[in-house]
Amino acid sequence: MRGDGAPRLRLAIVSTYDELCGIASYTRALVPLLEASMEVEVFDLDQGLLLNTQGRISALGDRHVEEIAARLRDFDAVNIQLEFGTLGLAPPQILRRLGWLLEAARALTLTLHRVPEPEGLPWGAILAGGVRGGFDRFVAAVHEARLARGLHRLMRQAERTRPFGIIVHGAREARLLRDLHGYRTVEHHPLAFLPAEAARALRQSATRADFPQIAALPPDAVLVGIFGFLSPYKGIETAIEALRLLPETHHLLLFGNVHAQRYRPHQAIDPYLKRLVEACGGGMFKRVHFMGSPGDAAFARAMAVCDVVAMPYLEVGQTSSGAIAIALELGCRVVASRTRNFLQLDRAMPGRMALFDVGNPVELAQRILAPGPRPADGAGLPFDTATNTALYCRLHQRLADEGSAQLRVA
């Protein structure tokens, strides 16, 4: 262990950072908390290079990752905030770039924001989707299986050759990685963004006047918010159907936009966005408000002014959600679908949310109308920024010490 007079641990974090995405937001929240105990440098993954399929630009993306890898050798420990889509689009490209980063670190952790599992092809779902839908699901299943196999190959190699640890966001994923796959060092902690005092200040200062699009709504308007990119798995159509069943005083606020990577040249409108716009017919356009994508601070302020934060997500194997983490930290009233991710979070932090069956607008409307859990200011959370920061500091200090010991022996 490092003594009181020893230099502070130098930690490199590889992540998206200067981007409008959940991983970048999490890293931006984590870094200042870690900097109280260690020296931290973030290596921002350039999405303009890494997600471009044009040959010469893709080659620049490879060079970008190689340059980051060359710098990682100078650090006591390296943490990679891994969401596969930030490293590329195709499994061979993603895994090749990830391999360069893993090989460069002398002590290493991976924060897995999603844990892929190679499963049999879901033929029932594939066939039920028709020709086009079935083909897309087949490609997605093959893509997932290749990522899962490649990730485990790289992680086992890393564990054999250097001090190595894995951080996931749920106990279920941690148990699978330890008991099924046999990894030695696996930690778990839900996403955490706001220290308690920051959450309390936001709740006390946020007002509807902060958001001009809703400032003119009557005082008795009940605000139901959905947060994050407008994606099919968010189940927003279920929320719009639920809104039809609710009193006209209820309004649905959509804080988010279509992800930039989904835009296609000369496309008049994103297909999912078109479905949402069409669902707003019959006068619903007066009660459904497209609020755009706020920055980190405004995102939390928007949650704080909502009467209910709704999470009507579909089951897509998601293992974390930044939006629900912030809502719980703020002490918002949360109504979420019964996905495996939210069920697991409900067990970890019981009494903090109301759950309804995936895709059931009637139950969602009833849950919104019924009194529900709303702990004041998120007080007393068993997992928060303090416990998350302590985990990161303890784990990276231990692995860095092991890496230093190996260098001395060598």
On average, the pLDDT of the chain sits at: 91
Do 388 and 194 contact (CB within 8 A), yes or no? Answer: no
- Of the pLDDT bands very low, low, confident and very high (cuts 50, 70, 90), residue 329 is very high
The terminus-to-terminus CA distance of the chain in angstroms comes to: 19
- Each residue's pLDDT tens digit, 366-375: 999 998 766 6
Number of helical (H) and strand (E) elements in the chain, helices listed first? 16, 12
Whether 128 shows a pLDDT value over 80: the answer reads no
> What per-residue confidence (pLDDT) applies to 375?
60
196-378: same fold as 10-192+384-409?
yes
Percent above pLDDT 70 for the chain: 91
Nearest to 101 by CA among 54, 151, 146: 151
pLDDT-based confidence at 149, cuts 50/70/90? very high
Strand order across the beta sheet in which 288-290 lies = 288-290, 250-255, 222-227, 308-311, 334-337, 354-356
pLDDT on residue 242: 98
With 80 as the cut, is the pLDDT of residue 381 above it?
A: yes
Better-predicted residue by pLDDT, 149 or 124: 149
If one looks up domain 196-378 in CATH, what number appears? 3.40.50.2000
Distance CA 352, CA 332 (A): 9
Residue 392, C-beta contacts closer than 8 angstroms, at least 6 positions apart:
30, 34, 79, 167
**Residue 131: per-residue pLDDT:** 47
Going through 129-259 in order, the beta strands assigned E by DSSP cover 164-168, 186-188, 222-227, 250-255
pLDDT of residue 404: 84
Task: Tell which CATH architecture fits domain 10-192+384-409.
Answer: 3-Layer(aba) Sandwich (3.40)
Q: Is the pLDDT of residue 212 over 70?
A: yes
The Cα 313–Cα 201 span in angstroms is 29
Segments making up each domain of the chain, as ranges: 10-192+384-409, 196-378
DSSP-assigned letters across all residues of 294-312: --HHHHHHHHHH-SEEEE-
pTM: 0.91
Q: What is the pLDDT of residues 282-297, one digit of tens each?
A: 889 999 999 999 888 8
CA dist 243 and 240 (Å) reads: 5
Question: What is the model's pLDDT at position 238?
Answer: 98
% of residues, the chain, pLDDT over 90: 78
pLDDT of residue 15: 98
